[in-house]
Amino acid sequence: MSKVTKICVSLLALGAPAAAFAAEPGAPLTDQAQAGDTAAPTAAPGKIEEVVVTAQKRSENAQKVPIAISVITEKNLEAQHITGMEDLPALLPGLKVGNSAGSGLVYLRGTGQNSGAPGIVNPISTYLDGIYIGIARLGLFDLPAVSQIALLKGPQGSLFGRNASGGIIQVATKDPSSKSGGNVQLGYGNFGTVNGAVYATGSLSDTVAANISFKGRRQSEGEITNVYTGTDLLKERSYSAQSKVRWTPNEDTTVLLNAAVLSSRDMRGVVNGPLPGYTANDGVTTYLGEDKVRLRYDPHSKVDTKLLSLKVTYDLGWAEVSNLLHGLSSETLFKDLQGSGHAGRPNPNNQPDQHITAPTKIMGNGDDLQISSTGSGPFKWIAGLSYEYERTDSTFAVYADEALISNTIGRVTSDAMAEFAQVTYALAPTTRVTGGLRYTTDKLTFSGVNTVTGQTSAGLAPSTTYNQMTWRAAIDHDLTRKILLYAAANRGFKAGQYNITSVTNPPVKPEIVDGVEAGFKSMLFDFLRLNTAFFQQKSSNIQLRSNQAGSVILFNAAKAKTAGVDLDFDAALSDHWSIKGGFEWLPTAKYTSFPNASAVLPSPLTVIPANCKGTPSTVKGGTVNLVCDLTDYRMIFAAKLAATLGVQYKLNAFGGKAEINVGDGYSTRYYIDPNASTFVDPRHVLNASAVWMSPDDKWNVRLWGTNLTNAKTGFRGFAYIPGSPLRFGVEVGMNL
């Protein structure tokens, strides 16, 4: 019996006594367990719970919001043992989260950012409890005590606007409760991984409630071996800690203080090596295996981020006013990251090992003030002001073996101010129109010097200001009480960016995405939620990254177009069976105009492709830099089909209750670079868990496994960056 088979059998072992412990329709599970009833599971469908989101900056039933939204809950995360942002595509079809040197490369519907350099921001913005976390280097944090994650698909032009040209990820954590409660969890898994979690909440007085949470894990065994140094790599250590305090001095006022720390060490995405058929640029290093690399130094990464916010909400009776003050500070260190995938000289090509060390400090603060209507009339409105300040200080040092060949010390700041307003008017009891505007002013400032070459950023404009009006227009209609039809148009905007790693790279132009969408949201028979959206997006000045002669270069692709359909569903088939899933089909995702693109192909390259310009190379190993016309090429991170399916079965077992969860995340091949030389293979990522709970819900034991088929989830091509391997473990929990 194979290892995978053994793990699957152990995870599903609790399912064997299903018939013996199944509940009689209408009877409590605990009663049936005590009686030993052998009745088959009831065929009567269950009921889907309402999902409340803040996609329009107010609490609303997700089924009534004319935006394509996918929502996952704490239970969905637990069912597939999803612990961090990088794992979310297993539950959110169409979302792609890549890992490049520890930075999150987030894509949706073909829109995203493929550079993880210091200071680079994603066009799929992440908000943690309303705090903007846009910088890619901070995007791969472990999830704290999450209550809900909502993915808003497509450009968000009015209420969010800045750097949201592709969508929004809203991560909401648990709020304090005046009722005392909590839980403790301890687990162990392969690679010598120990993990634990603590959550507690309760009242401190009649008007004050608080909570505290901690999650952490530590690996003692690495996933990858550096055969040159003999060191195990990717021994990840990470934790998240958070506390909230809520004060309600009266029935009209709420004050919420929120503090969090997110920390991680030695993450994936920091090692690479050649695949079979290719040779590193030293001319001798070849494929060593999926779990081995040959590097001169052991790469290291760390990210420590602190968040603090204060939100005050006041009910005026006719409107609600809220103000969110927030701050962020982070220190990141990426040390000895190899770009060459070999151990340096001596070698046949006399190529040095090139490695990078990049200590970075990031700080930011902001203020979001808004006022929104609370009445029941035909008008719903919201208006506000938003301010965001970010500063990134980085030292980007490039070494050739032990010699320092480039050392760029740079600072990028961003001052962004926006005014926004959105109005919804009921034309009739069943029909509404929505219009929204946002005007953003984003001023970027850059200064830098290369202490090795003596070059400075004096040749570049020291600052650039981007002014942009974005908008949203929508109409929605209640076809029935439980079926909503809608159509919407949005313009999204991502400001231009400076490349902090280069004092000669001009800032890239702002990226604009215009999207149209039509769909329906339905709740059928109270047990099936089915939502579908058809969309088309046109992008201009798409911001991309390329590596040239060891340097990170930012540039713009001219134009692109995507079109497709996505679907989400939840179904409570019975009191025992439920399913959740969806798909994104993206038949059209191409660069409609992309001349003079920077491209990288493996060497030797004796014939230059007809659409490219460059110099042939007969060197065995390494890469060749070309300039190509990539018009009509497939957009990066744009799989033609991505789908998820999760199945849950509840039963009585061994005197208590049990749940079996199996989830599959599928994606066709998608490309990492525009000229299609690196990619992620088609794959199924199978996750599963089985949990047993005591009759009083005080104790639980969970067996879990992720990537049970050991699918190759990393970047591949002429080189590869390993993804997450097969993992499994056991956890014991207690509810307080």
264 and 191 share a domain?
yes
Give the model confidence (pLDDT) of 593-652 as tens digits. Answer: 999 888 888 999 999 999 999 999 999 998 898 999 999 999 999 999 999 999 999 999
Question: What is the rounded CA–CA span in Å between residue 489 and residue 492?
Answer: 10
Per-residue pLDDT, 266: 85
Domain boundary among 610, 629, 648: 629
Residues 569/530, Cβ–Cβ less than 8 Å: yes
379 to each of 53, 54, 375, 382, 471, how far by Cα in Å? Answer: 20, 18, 8, 10, 19
Q: Average pLDDT, stretch 371-400?
A: 94
Give the model confidence (pLDDT) of 412-448 as tens digits. Answer: 999 999 999 999 999 999 999 999 999 999 999 999 9
438 to each of 237, 393, 420, 496, 660, how far by Cα in Å? Answer: 41, 29, 4, 17, 46
Least confident of 169-178, 264-273, 473-482: 264-273
477 and 616 share a domain?
no
624 and 708 share a domain?
no
pLDDT over 80 at 476, yes or no: yes
Residue 49 DSSP one-character state: P
Question: What is the rounded CA–CA span in Å between residue 40 and residue 569?
Answer: 26
Question: What is the rounded CA–CA span in Å between residue 629 and residue 633?
Answer: 9
Q: How confident is the model at residue 729 (pLDDT cuts 50, 70, 90)?
A: very high
Give the model confidence (pLDDT) of 180-218 as tens digits. Answer: 999 999 999 999 999 999 999 999 999 999 999 999 999
What is the percent of the chain with per-residue pLDDT over 90, rounded to a whole number?
76
The total domain count for the chain is: 2
Per-residue pLDDT, 10: 41
Q: Where are the beta strands (DSSP E) in 117-269?
A: 121-128, 131-135, 146-153, 167-173, 181-189, 193-203, 208-219, 224-226, 231-233, 237-250, 253-265
Q: In what order do the strands lie in the sheet with 716-717?
A: 670-671, 678-680, 716-717
624 and 665 share a domain?
no
Question: What is the rounded CA–CA span in Å between residue 661 and residue 734?
Answer: 20
Q: Which two tokens stand for residue 346?
A: 């001596």
**Which structural domain range is residue 620 located in?**
595-629
561 and 608 share a domain?
no
Positive or negative, the Cα torsion across 678, 558, 584, 660? positive
CB crowding 205-238: b at 16 or more within 10 Å, else e:
eeeebbbbbbbbbebeebbbbbebeeebbbbbbb
Question: What is the rounded CA–CA span in Å between residue 121 and residue 508?
Answer: 12
Per-residue pLDDT, 548: 63
Longest dimension (CA), the chain: 82
CB atoms within 10 A of CB 549: 7
Is pLDDT larger for residue 1 or for residue 16? 1
Per-residue pLDDT, 11: 38
Per-residue pLDDT, 719: 80
Q: How confident is the model at residue 515 (pLDDT cuts 50, 70, 90)?
A: very high
Per-residue pLDDT, 549: 57
pLDDT over 60 at 17, yes or no: no
263 and 316 share a domain?
yes
Per-residue pLDDT, 5: 40
Q: In which residue are the tokens 């001052």 written?
A: 415
622 and 698 share a domain?
no
Q: Where are the beta strands (DSSP E) in 374-462?
A: 379-400, 403-428, 431-450
Q: How confident is the model at residue 720 (pLDDT cuts 50, 70, 90)?
A: confident
190 and 205 share a domain?
yes
82 and 38 share a domain?
yes
Give the model confidence (pLDDT) of 536-571 as tens digits. Answer: 999 999 998 876 655 778 888 889 999 999 999 999
Q: How confident is the model at residue 8 (pLDDT cuts 50, 70, 90)?
A: very low
Q: Average pLDDT, stretch 227-242?
A: 93
Task: Sort 696 into a burial class: Cβ within 10 Å, 0-12 / 13-18 / 19+.
Answer: exposed
Residues 566/549, Cβ–Cβ less than 8 Å: no
Q: Where are the beta strands (DSSP E) in 594-672?
A: 597-602, 612-613, 623-628, 641-653, 656-667, 670-671
Per-residue pLDDT, 550: 57
Is pLDDT larger for residue 258 or for residue 33? 258
Q: Which two tokens stand for residue 538?
A: 């046109």
Q: Average pLDDT, stretch 54-64?
A: 95
Domain boundary among 629, 649, 676: 629
Cα–chain center distance at 451: 35
Q: Average pLDDT, stretch 369-388?
A: 95
Domain boundary among 629, 646, 681: 629
- Cα first-last separation, the chain: 40
31 and 69 share a domain?
yes
Residues 719/678, Cβ–Cβ less than 8 Å: yes
Question: What is the rounded CA–CA span in Å between residue 275 and residue 456?
Answer: 38
pLDDT over 90 at 33, yes or no: no
Q: In which residue are the tokens 């901070």 written?
A: 138
pLDDT over 90 at 272, yes or no: no
Give the model confidence (pLDDT) of 191-201 as tens digits. Answer: 999 999 999 99
602 and 458 share a domain?
no
**CATH code of the domain in which 387 resides:** 2.40.170.20
Please report which residue ranges of 406-453 form alpha helices under DSSP H: none
Least confident of 97-101, 114-118, 556-560: 97-101
Q: How confident is the model at residue 18 (pLDDT cuts 50, 70, 90)?
A: very low
| Residue 157 CB contacts under 8 Å (≥ 6 apart), including other chains | 164, 436, 438, 470, 471, 472, 490, 491, 492, 493
pLDDT over 80 at 27, yes or no: no
404 and 528 share a domain?
yes
Q: How many residues comprise the chain? A: 736
Least confident of 170-179, 305-314, 344-353, 683-692: 344-353
Q: Which two tokens stand for residue 683?
A: 């794959």
Per-residue pLDDT, 105: 86
Least confident of 39-48, 227-236, 534-543: 39-48
CB crowding 338-367: b at 16 or more within 10 Å, else e:
bbbbbbbeebebebbbbbbbbbbbbbbbbe
Per-residue pLDDT, 44: 59
What is the percent of the chain with per-residue pLDDT over 70, rounded to a whole number?
93
SS3 of the chain: helix, strand, coil, percent, to 5? 5, 60, 35
